[in-house]
Amino acid sequence: MNVIQTAIPGVLVIEPKLFRDPRGLFLEHFQAERYRAGGVGGPFVQDNMSRSSQGVLRGLHLQNPNPQGKLVGVLRGRVLDVAVDVRLGSPTFGRHVAVELSEDDFRQLWIPRGFAHGFRVLSDTVDFFYKCDAFYSPADEITIRWDDPDIAIDWGTRDPILSARDAAARPLKEISGLPRYEGA
């Protein structure tokens, strides 16, 4: 596998080795020792999958004070995946990384604790898979407005399909209870 550092330290793109032949393909979707050596957290305690239709935008979500690190990827389809640094005091606070993830190359994105996460579906449907290093805690959930002008994510749409919760989210500058940056 190939691990690529993004513009925000700690947010990593993982490119697995794909083995293709006339029968199809094979890849190692996760291997604890290799991922740990590549800088991906763990241990993972929960796996989730969502299926969404074209035009759906999920996010921006995080948990605090019980944060989750997430290893995300697409099993079928294609998304624009986004991680936003929302750690108070971080030198990259409010900056984001946007990466296309698809079934064509099975790249993954490691989103450390303290980052908000979201994605927009670019294909007809998508099966989106993620491993979490902490359990889901509804009481700790924080939602940030997807189109916050201070974050300035180019989602490629102005009219996504949103959940009621995501549509009602507030901008980052109005959010309290954000995680703190703990240095490198």
Which residue bears the tokens 């993620």?
130
- Point out the catalytic residue in the list 35, 117, 130, 181: 130
Quote the tokens at residue 58.
């999920």
Which residue bears the tokens 């032949």?
21
For residue 96, indicate whether it is catalytic. Answer: no
Q: How far apart are CA 87 and CA 12, in angstroms?
A: 17
Contact 58, 136 (CB under 8 A): no
Determine the distance from the C-alpha atom of residue 136 to the mean position of all C-alpha atoms in its chain, rounded to a whole number: 15
Q: Count the residues in the chain.
A: 184
Residue 179 has, within 13 A of its CA and on its CB side, a CA count of 27
Which residue bears the tokens 């507030």?
170
- Point out the catalytic residue in the list 35, 61, 117, 181: 61
Which residue bears the tokens 């990593």?
12
For residue 61, indicate whether it is catalytic. Answer: yes
Please list the active-site residues. 61, 130
